[in-house]
Structure 1
Amino acid sequence: MTASRDGLLEELVREMPWYISASMRFQMAVADQLDMPLADVHAIGALVEFEPIGAARLAELMGMTSGAVTRLVDRLERGGYVRRSPDPADRRRVVLRAVPERVAEIGRYYASMGESWQRQLADCSDEQLRFLVEFLRRGRDDTQRETARLRSDGRAHGTRRRREP
């Protein structure tokens, strides 16, 4: 690697936490506009990404206890953001699905961000765009692995304090 490439990689690694932090602040602002807890906004995102999904899987993704995720789903159902329905593969089980019309209403808060990204990416080549898509997918996978590692090696999920065996 050349010195300039090393410098660019270091700069990228330094900038990534600030990008993530700014994204989290944006998510908090969206939650404020929707007058809902940040966890609820993130749960809607998880539902859209992984649906149909059971409550246990949602609790795992969110790092919440089963009781906490039940209350979260109850709030989202009352707000019309989620529907519970029988699992087609196992009718004893219930799966959760986001309500597309309500998700679209949330989408309006992301529209200007999407337009900004479109402008930034307009001059990128197909190769650059493919790279960015792959970078984001790998980053998401890495983040999910690190989240799982933290929850298994650090504090137990859904708790404030790790219980000793």
Structure 2
Amino acid sequence: MSIKNEAEDRAAQIIHTMRRLATRTVLFHQAAAQSLGLFPTDLKSADLLNELGPLTAGELSEKTGLSSGAVTALIDRLEKAGYAKREKDPKDKRRVIIVPLTAGKSQVKELFRSLSTSTKELTNEYKPEELDLIIQFITEAADIMEQELQLLKSKL
């Protein structure tokens, strides 16, 4: 087999494996959200708030791709479930920001405990330099996904 064919086969295998991982990740998050009495979008939006910090409803709409009406309902559900709250923007009292709360974090952390433990055990099977390469690859793949997400959203 030529080097070019071997590289193409590896690339195809990586793409297939990443699709498989992405599908299992979506299904896992869907089941996790359901077990908390949330919609998957609610759980991922709470995760976005925890990652990015307080956002306006408009910013949350932009990040999630949801309409303003859907974001309002989403924020209502997150408030009711104890994952976020509305606060006046300290920089502009006319605006409201959505602030993540820590109340629901322990429930979410417990749901992901087994997955975290298993992932940590998996990392123990690799050398530090191999882990560095894996981290680099996953980081760059996430950056590509972000670029592709923005490209797709620009076409909507």
TM class, shorter-chain normalised? 0.7 to 0.9
Name the structure, 1 or 2, with higher relative contact order (CA <8 Å, separation 6+): 1
Q: Which runs of 4+ in 1 moved over 6 A?
A: none
Paired amino acid for 1:145? Q
Between Structure 1 and Structure 2, how many residues are aligned? 154
Q: 1:122 matched to which residue of 2?
A: 124
What SS does structure 1 have at the residue aligned with 2:98? strand
Identity of aligned residues (%): 27
2:97 pairs with 1:95:
yes
1:5 Cα shift? Answer: 4.6
Distance 2:140 2:59 in 1: 21
Distance 1:5 1:140 in 2: 21
Q: 1:143 matched to which residue of 2?
A: 145
Q: TM-score, normalised by structure 2?
A: 0.88
Q: TM-score, normalised by structure 1?
A: 0.84
1:128 Cα shift? Answer: 2.3
Q: How does 1:15-164 map to 2 (within 5 A)?
A: 15-153=17-155, 156=156
1:94 Cα shift? Answer: 1.9
Distance 1:93 1:29, change over 3 A: same
Structure 2 residue runs of 5 or longer lacking an equivalent are none
- If each structure's helix is expressed as a fraction of its own residues, which one has the higher value? 2
Moved more, 134-143 or 18-27: 134-143
Distance 1:97 1:120, change over 3 A: same
Structure 1 residue runs of 5 or longer lacking an equivalent are 157-165
Deviation string for 1:59-99 (max 9, x for gaps)?
A: 11111011110110011101111022232333332222211
Deviation string for 1:9-37 (max 9, x for gaps)?
A: 32111211111001111011111211211
